Amino acid sequence: MKRLRLLLVPLTALAAVLAVASPAAAVTTEEKVSVLSSWTQTSAASYNAWNAARQNQGAWAAYAFNWSTDYCSSSPDNPIGFDFKLSCYRHDFGYRNHKEMGLFAASKARLDSAFYEDLKRRCATYNAIVRPACYSLAWTYYQAVKEFGSIAVSDAELARAQRMKRDAIRANGGLD
């Protein structure tokens, strides 16, 4: 019995160490949705929580979030010197992850509103003389994503549209 206890104590200790050192348990869909939702609200606290996670993505690896971004897509990241880059990054994060979770349609309006709030908070950091121009650009960026943000056009669709335009021009005798 003593021998068995001498063997069990180290094995129990080893099991405890391995349990602590092992990778975290798989994240449930509900947990992922909860964190995703908390990071894509309109508040500054939501933005700050997302930004802290962005800077420490490894801590969130079990959630398998899509952190990819093209920032402000085809719009300037720094229009006339106003830095919209991180606002666009969080907007991309929201769009991409909500799409992957099948929640995009129900979340798009909130994601766009969060983007606008992020832009306005960024504008508030600029000098009062230039701030109105920043707010105007923020409104323009918001309106663009509100209207066109859900449109995803593939290269094949673009090529098809270009062919159709070219064919229409030819059919009209070269007149556009």
- Name the token pair of 5: 């206890």
Of the candidates 74, 108, 75, 111, the residue with the CA atom closest to the CA atom of residue 91:
111
Catalytic residue among 32, 41, 50, 91: 91
Among this protein's residues, is 98 annotated catalytic?
no
CATH of 27-171, one of 1.10.3720.10, 1.20.90.10, 2.40.110.10, 3.40.50.80: 1.20.90.10
pLDDT the model gives residue 2 = 54
Half-sphere exposure of 155 (CA within 13 A, CB side): 0
**Three-state DSSP class for residue 14:** helix
Lowest mean pLDDT among 13-17, 64-68, 112-116, 169-173: 13-17
pLDDT digits (tens, 9 = 90+) for 24-45: 568 999 999 999 999 999 999 9
